[in-house]
Structure 1
Amino acid sequence: MDNQFTLTACLHKIDVLRHTPAGVPVLDVVLQHNSWQEENGLRCQIKFELPAKIIGQNAQAWQHRQGEIVTVSGFLAQKSQRIFRPVLRIQHITEYKG
């Protein structure tokens, strides 16, 4: 099964960088998206916020870049073993060049 996700959004909220017990950096962020899309021939405005997580070296690189527009790709996963809400696990993140 495929589980690939790509999005251009604003790094709206960035939590404090933390580390796993193994010392791996983890950065929890909230992505904010706003665009116009076409659905069944009609234009509609799309606005949403999506929780996401950056793990590894990218976490350190992006910890102070709140407000920046980025293009991200990764996969959706459950938030934790007990919480099944989706969280985007960001594998690639780049500054949006428009």
Structure 2
Amino acid sequence: MHIVQYLGAVKLSALTMPLIRGFEDELRKAGRSQAMTRRVLVSLGTLLADAQERGLTARNVVRDIRGRRKGKDERQEKRHKGRLKVGVDNPYP
């Protein structure tokens, strides 16, 4: 419902990062919660992944956007920082 209303007339080849970010902004302006906006973008990303598997689009711009968000590397680094290696971080096995 949300996707068709805003992007229904847009061709897959015309989907760009700025267009998707604008779609996200429009959802927020329309009063959608952050959780609902996230769900809609996940659904759109899933649809684009399916279209990509079928050869209907070259790339999934929703997944490209998620990968570029700030903090991803920091969170990943923080997750891996907690892992200790026996004999390296702890000299007593």
Q: Give the structure-1-normalised TM-score.
A: 0.21
Report which of the two has the higher share of helix: 2
Looking at secondary structure, tell me which structure has more strand per residue: 1
What TM-score, normalized by structure 2, do the two folds share? 0.22
Higher RCO (CA 8 Å, separation ≥ 6 residues): 1
